[in-house]
Amino acid sequence: MDDVRWLSADEQEIWRAYLSASVSLAAHVDRQMRQHAGMPMAYYEILVRLSEAPHRRLRMSELADASLSSRSRLSHAVAALERNGWVERRPADGDRRGWVCSLTDEGFAALAAAAPGHVTTVREHLFDVLTPEQLRTLREIGLAISAGLKPACDAARAEDAQDTQDAEDTQDPCDE
Amino acid sequence: MDDVRWLSADEQEIWRAYLSASVSLAAHVDRQMRQHAGMPMAYYEILVRLSEAPHRRLRMSELADASLSSRSRLSHAVAALERNGWVERRPADGDRRGWVCSLTDEGFAALAAAAPGHVTTVREHLFDVLTPEQLRTLREIGLAISAGLKPACDAARAEDAQDTQDAEDTQDPCDE
DNA sequence: ATAGGGTGGTTGAACTCTCAACACCAGCGC
DNA sequence: GCGCTGGTGTTGAGAGTTCAACCACCCTAT
């Protein structure tokens, strides 16, 4: 951990420009969603993924992957959405461990009501401020980052899987 | 609100690629920071900004702007950092409303301990997966988004300023 | 000098997220 | 049939964020 490849001045500028933009844009979009639709952006994402699924229903684990949330987060979120009447949970047939989450008509209506404001915000603060060339590159950048992140996420899951087994052997020596 | 400029298929792809990457990357970086340094990414950002300020001290409002957090968030965060002994608050001289927040030696040490792992994560998942050309464009994109967001943030502050005044007149009719 | 609006910062409650158990069931080997 | 490992999903506690007051102070105009 001693031979760190520190960031050059240029790289720091890039990282900070990216970080600032992504944090600010996320905050702005989330804020708009809360004010206008009464739910955080993460919940909107869940409704969107459900609305696009066949029969507007998905297994919890599939919904978690699609909406980029952890299982725990999804559990809490779906519980909250269920209290709103926007979503329903029923046991999956064929696997008595699983649950299927489905979007109700009220949930779809809430989604439809929230969509215009959301899209307008995204267009205004992303598509209207970038050139077509920049947008093409942004798509590539997004795909590259996601691809580079996938191994790390898989590794994290793999760790969880065997965490119950090994406890006392080789921990990585992070000085902290 | 009826003439919404919806996203084309191409635009949706771009937005989702960006959203997925930024959410996943932020989650990964935050997770790394929590595990390795015991603090969320937002707290690290606060320490960084303090460490770069003259005499490692900043007015609370300046620190809030620099670290991209709301005043409320910063208050809570600084209170937590103070409990750790990483930060100190003392009254600002010349303005008895204000407070100056300063980084302690322990705080600087915590920052120094957290930096290598953080930089390594950023390099691995951002700089190592993008081409120099993409990185140049990413800088431009970040700057453009931030610039486009500034008016909106200023407007939000302006609203707060006069919220105490008008209460019963024209509310925007959002059907929800 | 004083009222009144604006600024700086804090607080508490409600909400969301994370983390670490935990319960439950599937599938496989014996 | 029985354990055993792995996968699915939930729960509760604690941490962090948001939102809406709220207090204290500065500043200017009257």
Q: Give 10-residue mean pLDDT values along chain A (176 residues).
A: 88 98 98 97 98 98 97 98 97 94 98 98 98 98 96 68 47 42
**Protein residues with Cβ atoms closer than 7 angstroms to any atom of nucleic acid strand C:** A 39-40, 42-43, 69-70, 72-73, 76-77, 80, 95-97; B 27, 30-31, 34-35, 59-62, 64, 71-72, 74-76, 78-79, 89, 92, 95, 97-100, 161-162, 164-165
> A114-123 burial string, b = 16+ CB within 10 Å, else e?
bbbbbbbbbb
Q: Which residues of B touch A120 (CB under 8 A)?
A: 1, 4-5
Where does the pLDDT of residue B152 fall: very low under 50, low under 70, confident under 90, or very high at 90 and above? confident
Q: Residue type for B76, please?
A: H
pLDDT, tens digit, 9 for 90 and up, residues B78-90: 999 999 999 999 9
- Chain A span 53-82 residues with beta carbon within 7 Å of strand D: 59-61, 64, 71-72, 74-76, 78-79
The SS3 call for residue B108 is helix
Query: Does 1.10.10.10 match the CATH number of domain B16-130?
Result: yes
CB-CB contact of B80 with B47 (8 Å)? no
Q: What is the pLDDT of residue A175?
A: 42
pLDDT at site A156: 66
- Among A141, A143, A159, A171, pick the best mutation site for testing chain B contact (most B Cβ within 10 A): A141
For residue A5, give both structure tokens: 């490849």
Distance in angstroms: CA A129, C1' D14: 41
**A133: Cβ contacts below 8 Å, ≥ 6 apart:** B137
Q: What's the rounded Cα separation, in Å, for the pair A101 and A74?
A: 11
Q: Exposed e or buried b for every residue in A1-27, given b needs 16+ CB within 10 A?
A: eeeeeebeeebeebbebbbbbbbbbeb
Share of chain B above pLDDT 90, in %: 82
Amino acid making up residue B102: S
Average pLDDT, integer, range B99-126:
98
Give the separation between CA A134 and CA B138, rounded to whole angstroms.
Answer: 8
A62 to A68, A96, A98, B175: CA distances (angstroms): 10, 16, 11, 31
Residues A174 and B117: beta-carbon distance below 8 Å: yes
Measure A30 CA to C2 C1' (Å): 43
Task: Give the pLDDT band (50/70/90) at residue B3.
Answer: confident
How far apart (Å, rounded) are the C-alpha atoms in residues A14 and B44? 18
Could you tell me if A56 and A108 are in contact, meaning their C-beta atoms sit under 8 angstroms apart?
yes
Q: What's the whole-number mean pLDDT along residues B112-119?
A: 98
pLDDT at A168: 39
Q: Which tokens go with B166?
A: 């008008």
Q: Residue A152's pLDDT is what?
A: 73
B:117-136 residues touching chain A, CB 8 A cutoff: 117, 119-120, 122-130, 133-135
Starting at the earlier edge strand, list the strands of the sheet with A87-91: A57-59, A99-103, A87-91
Q: What is the pLDDT of residue B166?
A: 47
Q: Is the CB of A163 under 7 A from strand D?
A: no
Is B171 a residue whose pLDDT tops 60? no
Strand D interface, A 120-149, C-beta < 7 A: none
At A153 the pLDDT is 72
Hey, which bits of chain A come out as E strands?
Answer: 57-59, 87-91, 99-103
Tell me which chain A residues have a C-beta less than 8 angstroms from the C-beta of B157.
Answer: none
Coil vs helix vs strand at A8:
coil
Confidence (pLDDT) at B175: 42
What pLDDT is recorded for position B168? 39
Query: Any atom of strand D under 7 A from CB of B110?
Result: no
Q: Is B25 on the interface with A (CB under 8 A)?
A: yes
Could you name the CATH architecture of A14-115? Orthogonal Bundle (1.10)
Q: Which of B33, B51, B149, B150 to mutate to test the interface with A (most CBs of A within 10 A)?
A: B149
Which tens digits make up the pLDDT trace of B16-66?
A: 999 999 999 999 999 999 999 999 999 999 999 999 999 999 999 999 999
A135 against B2, higher pLDDT: A135
Q: How far is A27 from chain B (nearest CA, A)?
A: 10
| Amino acid identity at B73 | R
